[in-house]
Structure 1
Amino acid sequence: MGVITLENEFAVAVAPAKLFKAYCLETDTLLPKILPEHIRSSDIIEGNGGPGTIRKITFAEGKELSYAKQKIEAIDEENLTYSFSLIEANVWKDAVEANKNNLNNSSLN
């Protein structure tokens, strides 16, 4: 099995700390509200929101991906970084061995 690395960078008109809070810390309440056509729910099923926490995201009906489980690996509120792994999903089971994500919300002055 090979390794694929993807890296994306994009600018948004939101302060880095505010984006970090919304996307990384308040995802369970915000994502279903702002993307109801894609995400039905996002729930912590184990843990307290810190490293080691397991989150289940349930997608809207009709999507190929019906659910995904993420494990939070690290959160650094001071440096605005957040890492998680995709540990389970109803698709890609035989094609993907590991999926790790690192988010870095920094200012591009």
Structure 2
Amino acid sequence: MAVSLQVIYPVADGSTFDFDYYLSTHFDLVGEHMGPHIASTVVTKGVAGGPDTPAGYHAIATITFADQNAFKAAMAASGPVMADVPNFTNVKPDVLIGEVVA
């Protein structure tokens, strides 16, 4: 069964997020270190939480893997990716690991 990893960056008072760095430098690291194990990626930039409501999240990255073995291999290679997070945000991201069911 396919596995998903969602990395969720919530907005909070004083939080910062550098999208240019994230999309160029950080995602290059994702590709370099975890890429061979990744089936697909989607990055969603938060723009609103509803009508006249600011976004509650800077971004959500969804990465899918063919199976648990691919996920485990990607995570084993993710050290440099994880170490890079403070270079583009001061937010501690929330993480959701799940089974892709639809």
TM-score range, shorter chain: 0.3 to 0.5
Bigger fraction of residues in helix: 2
TM-score (norm 1): 0.32
TM-score (norm 2): 0.34
Bigger fraction of residues in strand: 1
